[in-house]
Every structure is written in structure tokens, then in C-alpha cells.
Amino acid sequence: MTMHAPATILPLVLDKVGFAVGATDIIRGISLELRAGPCTVILGPNGAGKSMLLRLCHGLLEPTRGSVRWNGTHPHSARRQAMVFQRPVMLRRSTIANVAYGLKRAGMARTERTKRAAAALDRVGLLHLADRSARVLSGGEQQRVALARAWALDPEVLFLDEPTANLDPAATRAIENVIASIRDGGTKVVMTTHDLGQARRLAQEIVFLHRGRVLEHGPADRFFEQPATNEAAAFLKGELLV
């Protein structure tokens, strides 16, 4: 069973998307187009709405206003895009079984699943832990397993929500290396972070978010050299954006 059907699901188009929780607007009127190619980093201070925006894109949340469309059609195919969360959720089973879980949900046969899962684990450097219970691994290892799990699905788009926020520098480096190889392998990576350094290291395209609105959207080097807005400039200088 091939994971890539002939048609691509990109570009992802958000049209005047809004999301409110109760009476509060977290996301206000975002219109955005994400195309294949560059690694997109959604940057912004805490509380800007980055995680929520990512979940709206992935389909975990439905917008209260506006629409989210993949290549013109509405429904999102869970298997053509995958997501890694800030806190990895490991099932109470072996590492390789965790990685194979998504493949099982997709209906893949057992031998094929095991092969793919092992390959994915190998790519993140954890094949030697295949039979260890995933829950006893360290935070950094678990996050790599989560990456392997998402990668094994061979998605066209990979969403990552603050993937290294809870990890130490060594683990962060390991994760960033994996993300880089995923990006270089042709998968569209869309990731959120509040860490400027990380954005500089990984981004090819920046979406700058503040208070639920997109203030800037463009190539990464242009953003870092010459931010167009005051807020972005302040953020880049390390100031607290209120």
C-alpha cells in the first residue's frame, strides 16, 4: 500500500480563519497559504496562538470562522499529514510497537509495519531500543520515537508543536538533526517555537504570530535581517512583547 497518492495535498490555504474559546478570540482572522518546499517556522511569543494555529491546520480543531482547505478540497487526510506534540504520548508498549501504531491504524499488514517501523527507528538512531518499553525512555528519546512514529507514516506535511520545549540541549540537538533530515527528505515541515535560536537554525520561511494575528510571513533570512513590523523587531531584540 503506497502512502503517497498521485495528487498532493498542498498548498494548505487558511481563509479568514478565526478560533474562539467561549467569548475570547484566540485566533483572529488569519489568511495564510503554505506551499510545498521550505521549512516553515511559526514564531512568536508565548500566548500568541501558535499551538492553536497548528491544531487548526492539522484538523484537531475546527475553526469557528473561516475555512481550512487542502489543495482546494476541505477534508484533511490524517495520513498525508502527521503531528508531533510538545509532550510525546507513548503507549504502554514497546518502542517499535509505538512507532508501528499509526501504520496499524492505516491498515498496513504486520510484516510491512514492522519493517517500516524499524526503518523509521533506525533513522532517528533508536533501533537498539526497539523492544524496550517506550514509557521508560528519557524525554529526548521519547520525542525521537514520536518523530519516528510520525515519519513512518510517510506524510507530505509534518507539523511539530514546540518539539524541544521540554528537552535539554543535547536532546534538542538530536531532535533538530532529525527534523533537518526529514526536511531534506522532501517532507514539508511546519513547526512552532518561541526559541529564536532554533528558528534561526531550522527555518526557511517564517510566519510571525502575535496576539492571534499573522504580522509577517516571508523568507527566513529576510525576516531575521529586516523585520517589517515593530513587534517583530522588538521580538528579535529579545524584548518582551505584551
Partner 1 sequence: MSEIGNAFSTALAMLAGFDPELLQIVVLSLEVSLSAVLIASAIGLPLGALIALTRFRGRQAVIVVLNGCMGLPPVVVGLVVYLLLSRAGPLGPLGLLFTPGAMIVAQVVLVMPIIAALARQVVEDAWREYAEQLRSLGATPRNAIWTLLWDTRFSLATVILAGLGRASAEVGAVMIVGGNIDGVTRVMTTAIALETSKGDLPLALALGMILISIVVLLNAAAYAVKETAQKKYG
- Closest distance between partner 1 and the C-beta of residue 159, in Å? 9
* Using rule CB under 8 A, residue 144 touches partner 1: no
Sheet containing strand 81-84, edge to edge, reads 81-84, 157-161, 188-193, 40-43, 205-210, 213-219
d(CA 26, CA 7): 33
Considering only residues 36, 78, 165, 234, which one is a binding residue for partner 1 as defined by CB under 8 A? 78
Q: Does 165 bind partner 1 (CB under 8 A)?
A: no
- For position 149 contacting partner 1 by CB under 8 A, the verdict is yes
- Whether 207 and 41 have beta carbons less than 8 Å apart is answered as yes
HEC-encoded secondary structure of 8-24: CCCCEEEEEEEEEECCE
163 prior amide bond cis, ω within 30: no
Measured distance CA(56)–CA(51) in Å, rounded: 9
Report the site for partner 1 in 48-77 (rule: CB under 8 A): 55, 58, 60
**84, 45 contact by CB (below 8 A):** no
User: Residues 93, 110, 128, 222: which binds partner 1 (CB under 8 A)?
Assistant: 93
Residues 20-49 that bind partner 1 (CB under 8 A): none
Length of the chain: 242
Interface mask (CB under 8 A) for partner 1, residues 120-139, using x and -? -------------xxxx---
Residue 80 contacts partner 1 per CB under 8 A: no
Q: How far is the CB of 22 from partner 1 (least distance, A)?
A: 19
Size of the site for partner 1 (CB under 8 A): 23
Report in angstroms how near the CB of residue 224 gets to partner 1 at its nearest: 31
Pairwise CA distance, residues 81 & 187, whole Å: 10
**Which of residues 101 and 224 has its CB atom nearest to partner 1 in the complex?**
101
For binding to partner 1 (CB under 8 A), which residues are involved? 55, 58, 60, 78-79, 82-83, 85, 88-89, 91-93, 101-102, 105-106, 133-136, 149, 153
